[in-house]
Chain A
């Protein structure tokens, strides 16, 4: 077995066994996988394609709402549910719950991807800093939109349906494994598509979009699809987080630009944007550090986290993997390779 395969097996085994650590850790471990998904899917845009999006939190929120609305809407009237301001009296059977959750998460991904394609048709014409600024208001705009929409609870939010299967699998374990599966699916999907024409094309767009267009590349098509892929996974992640939190508020839980929205960027940069493993490493380090801050620096945790983000951007502009690649290019396959000694040169 190759070293890479061993690594995958070890990570998968750790992922499967992680809930044994105890119920107290389930939510944190689930969030770790979510962080990995958020960083990986942000990196499709920001790292691989060079389009720094501050608006990806939009898909997180849209996915979250889509999931809950599907979970409820398949069996009850959503308007009545939000008016009752609680899930009591709107019980779901076990089958209904799993059906609604499955459909909800799938729809979350699809609708988030559609929103990305639609928003993208307007915003992806912008380049560089202009795109970043253009996306800045996106999450805020969606938060305001949902805060004024009574059907989904407007500003007072919406609670997730009660989980009827506590006797079968505990709720926290269920959502841990959903997050775990999403993390693995996201990683391998991206690993796979980066190895196709898609991966090369979005890298080319990052390095010189005008050149890519001059060479006949369908740049707009690639950009739109890239953002949709990014949004797909971010949307499902949102659906899972909404259920873990149990209550959805447009500004503090769904469209949280100041927390998840910034974190996904910081994690990708910390690990090394534009690489497959960078966002994963960045997410793990960031999440653990953040938890340590919460435990040992209570009261100062936000200050510490802010400082951490500044330190990341100033001292690790190319991230951990980027730094390693500059140091040891040969280990990353960047080398002069002569064909036989006689051919020489170099």
Chain B
């Protein structure tokens, strides 16, 4: 059974059809890519999946249960998490605190608000900071990190949340090539070692072709093609969409 099952989802903003009739499935443990030219509706689809805005039509199932009527925070607590294209961290808190507050919030009661973070949580947070290569900087304000480091921190925060599935919105955009390799390596390790299913929006073709086992391509809000990387690379429609052919 698919972990994420998007069925004929549509979303329009005024007269602009950002998504129409999009269906996609992601199997548990998979790494799936989502590509398409700018403005093709990739981020809108992410927003629809995580409940950032209501959808106009269609249905979305996560882990067998419908989630299209749930709020973002409730969906996150079920284990479906997204990162943002513009990196979002808590700028005026240090990295350790950024990590701690990102712990999973499943089943939290009102009284849990006033419990301190257990020692294991601190340890886990520091391990993940180490994993992201940010251990030395753990006491710095997250807002003072470089953009690339903030991306890594955001990724580590997402792992801290122990998600079943992660939606990553352009994880490599704006970071230097050396750091990109490190990040890709970490994405793969998170997938292999922690079993996190990944759905990745990516413009860097080299990255996505190597990372994903299956790729969906959007264009003008519609699903243009789907299949393994090699097929997508040779698909006439995809090439036209990217290069502006007819």
Contacts and interface: CB of A to CB of B under 8 A. Distances in A.
Q: Looking at chain B's contact residues, is the secondary structure mostly helix, strand, loop, or mixed? A: loop
Given A204-B93, A206-B92, A197 B136 contact: no
A217 B114 contact: no
Interface of A is mostly: helix
A154 B135 CA distance: 61
Interface in B92-132: 92-94, 97, 100-102, 104-106, 108, 110, 112-117
B210 to A, nearest CB: 28
Contacts of B108: 218
A222 B91 contact: no
Contact of A207 (B91, B100, B106, B139): B91
B139 A339 contact: no
A338 interface: yes
Given A198-B114, A215-B81, A216-B106, A208 B136 contact: no
Contacts of B110: 221, 225
Interface stretch (B21-29, B71-79, B236-244): B71-79
- Report the interface size class on chain A: 35 or more
Nearest to B117: A197
B137 interface: yes
A216 B93 contact: no
Nearest to A192: B114
Interface centre among B52, B71, B76, B136 (most CB of A within 10 A): B136
B140 A198 contact: no
Contact of A336 (B81, B92, B139): B139
A225 B110 CA distance: 9
Contact of A211 (B71, B90, B113): B90
A219 B90 CA distance: 14
Interface in A109-157: none
> Most B CB atoms within 10 A — which of A193, A195, A337, A343?
A337
B88 interface: yes
A196 B92 contact: no
Nearest to B104: A216
A214 B90 contact: no
A203 B141 CA distance: 13
Contacts of B74: 216
Contacts of A345: 136
Contacts of B94: 333-334
B65 to A, nearest CB: 16
B117 to A, nearest CB: 7
Interface of A: 193, 195-198, 200-201, 203-204, 206-208, 210-219, 221-222, 225, 274, 333-339, 343, 345-346
25 contacts: A197-B113, A203-B93, A203-B97, A204-B93, A207-B92, A207-B93, A211-B88, A211-B89, A212-B90, A213-B76, A215-B73, A215-B76, A215-B157, A215-B161, A216-B73, A216-B106, A222-B113, A225-B110, A333-B139, A334-B141, A336-B139, A336-B140, A337-B139, A339-B136, A345-B136
